[in-house]
Amino acid sequence: MSQLTVLSGPPGAGKSTIAHLLAEKSDRSVCIEGDTVYHMVAGGYVAPWLPGNHKPLFWTNVESLIQNALDMGYDVVFEYVLYPRDFERLKRRFKQMQAFVLLPSEPELLRRDALRPEDCRMGERCRICHKQFCEAEFDPEQVLCTDGESPEQTVERILNKRKG
């Protein structure tokens, strides 16, 4: 049976890296990067944290992509900056979903952000999101502090939690 794994965390937490590595562990998988889906809008683009954004279109597209892949027998790894209300939305639609929050410390997050190409850095947005994630009421079992861990070690932790 196909499975859905959802990864969240602030910008720079390693979601894309971990999502791709995790998807590669499956014989048949799809990796859906939320940023790619969100950035499909060209005319009238509004940043997701600003009023007037196009989140309704984003969610329609994401849920369709996930459902299509699961229906065709693919495991799905979906990654995006998601909060508890977003996890609940997905859980209502996809009952077998497993969700994880990658949450390095703020200094580690800023270190990772600085390693990105300059035009991809989030800077202060990393700090803002990190604070929001620390204050959000995620299930503690879903939160993974990834300081001092290689991406491969984080993937192994997720795989072990999925089995358990």
List pLDDT tens digits, range 60-95: 999 999 999 999 999 999 999 999 999 999 999 998
User: What domains can you pick out in the chain, each with its CATH number?
Assistant: 4-163 (3.40.50.300)
List pLDDT tens digits, range 111-120: 999 988 998 8
Cα 121 to Cα 107, 116, 133, 160: the distances in Å are: 15, 6, 18, 31
Q: What is the pLDDT of residue 103?
A: 96
Q: Tell which wins on pLDDT, 145 or 162.
A: 145
Hunting for tokens 């204050």 — which residue is that?
A: 135
Residue 24 pLDDT exceeds 90: yes
Query: Which of 17, 9, 8, 5 minimizes the C-alpha distance to 105?
Result: 9
Q: Is the whole model's pTM more than 0.85, yes or no?
A: yes
Q: What is the pLDDT of residue 13?
A: 92
